[in-house]
Amino acid sequence: MTDTTFRPDLMAGRNVFITGGSSGINLGIAECFMQHGAKVTINGRDPAKLAAAVEHLKAFGAGPVLGVAADVRDYAALSAAIAESAKAHGPIDVLVCGAAGNFPALAEDLSPNGFKAVVDIDLIGTFHTCRAAFAHLRKPGAAIINISAPQAAIPFALQAHVCAAKAGVDMLTRTLAIEWGPHGIRVNSIVPGPIAGTEGLKRLTQGPDSVAKVVRTVPLNRLGETHDIGHSALFLASPAASYVSGTVLFCDGGHALVGSGMILQAAMS
């Protein structure tokens, strides 16, 4: 992805910590922040994937980039990862909570452990990340960006676990915006639409024909790209959004306006 509009000074000096940052949407977000001069730390569970992602990101900017391994379900490990980032790059200025899990399953076939796993990663992992970074973020100009999903607002068949977890993420976003606003922290969510080349799109469709069905439900008549979400995150982290907090921003080409839950069910059939 090449962005000819980037400003390498926009995020200069700011430390951005991104969970789930070694692939997909979150890697695209990291690319955008690198292009705009940020110091970036990506977090994930797999050290090998993190190392490859760090090498990939070096092509997107001159700022330092670090990979730190930790599971967002493990609060102590995540706290240590954030401390490592702060030691290398200074206190966290922007936090992107992007770690997530998903798989399609009817509720009657969904095991309690399967339901719990998604809630633990998506919702409890988001809280762990926000809470562990709070001491660093407690200052004017800090920003938290939680990566949500359309399942937070639209009932999706085969997605009871994700619907519950992401609805919780959006309510956590709004609650933290109220509680942490007086500390100078802005808290917002982004709801991505169907994004090309991501594991999420692969898991929730059944090949090219079903992807084409999804595209036909997007008013802009295309899949999103990871940099579309990256640019939304960049806006929410920037001074241009200095009075924006508690917002759930849909970046989906209008997809959620046309009954995407029913269309996704059709695409998976």
3-state secondary structure of 45: coil
Q: Per-residue DSSP letters for the chain? A: ---TT--TTTTTT-EEEEETTTSHHHHHHHHHHHHTT-EEEEEES-HHHHHHHHHHHGGG-SS-EEEEE--TT-HHHHHHHHHHHHHHH-S-SEEEE---------GGG--HHHHHHHHIIIIIHHHHHHHHHHHHH-STTEEEEEE--GGGTS--TT-HHHHHHHHHHHHHHHHHHHHHGGGTEEEEEEEE--BTT-HHHHHTS-SHHHHHHHHHTSTT-S-B-HHHHHHHHHHHHSGGGTT--S-EEEESTTGGGG-HHHHHHHHH-
Q: What is the pLDDT of residue 153?
A: 92
The amino acid at residue 140 is P
pLDDT tens-place string over residues 195-240: 987 877 676 666 677 788 888 889 999 999 999 999 999 999 999 9
When pLDDT is cut at 50, 70 and 90, the band that residue 2 belongs to is very low
* CA nearest to 80, candidates 90, 89, 67, 69: 69
Task: For residue range 246-264, list pLDDT tens digits in order.
Answer: 999 999 999 988 765 555 5
* pLDDT, tens digit (0-9, with 9 covering 90-100), for 39-84: 999 999 999 999 999 999 999 998 899 999 999 999 999 999 999 9
The CATH number assigned to the domain with range 15-268 reads 3.40.50.720
Residue that the structure tokens 């090498």 belong to = 55
pLDDT value for 262: 53
Q: Is 127 exposed, middle or buried (0-12, 13-18, 19+ CB in 10 A)?
A: middle
pLDDT the model gives residue 202? 72
Which stretch of DSSP H or E encloses residue 143?
strand 142-147
Q: Which helix (H) or strand (E) holds 28?
A: helix 24-35
How many CB atoms sit inside 10 A of residue 46's CB? 13
φ and ψ at residue 213, rounded to 5 degrees: -60, -40
Q: Could you tell me the residue ranges of all domains in the chain?
A: 15-268
**Distance (Å, whole) CA 240 – CA 97:** 21
DSSP-assigned letter for residue 198: -
